[in-house]
Amino acid sequence: MGGEIIVYSPSDAIDRMIAGEDVTKNYKIRYVCISPDFQNKSFLDYIGSKGFKKIIVEYRNKEIYYVYDILTKNNEIIVIDRDEFDSEYDREYSNIDVALPYFNSF
């Protein structure tokens, strides 16, 4: 999960959220990406219960990632193919001049 410059693991980010920390404010984390077969099912249950916007990334009709936008609490669920997700992510965030101002805006 992306921070300002540091990348945090989903376990670390979710642990901090469970402990009551504001990971968006304190660590500049916006997205938490976690696999549906993540070993700690209580983390999946916790993050899934928060009502965050959820992007389900599929490959060959199988769910491979869940991406939670922890700044958006609207219970929205979007299903997107991996290739389409990769293309959107690359277009929007691979340019450093676009990515840094965006992530520094919250």
The pLDDT, as a whole number, for residue 94 is 61
58 alpha-carbon distance from chain centroid: 15
pTM given for the model: 0.75
Q: Is the pLDDT of residue 2 over 50?
A: no
- Bridge-partner residues for 68, per DSSP? 32, 54
pLDDT tens digits for range 28-80: 888 899 999 998 999 999 999 999 999 999 999 999 999 999 999 999 999 98
Q: From 76, 102, 5, 30, select the one nearest 13 (Cα to Cα).
A: 30
Count of C-beta atoms within a 10 Å radius of residue 96: 8
Give the whole-angstrom CA distance, residue 11 versus residue 15. 6
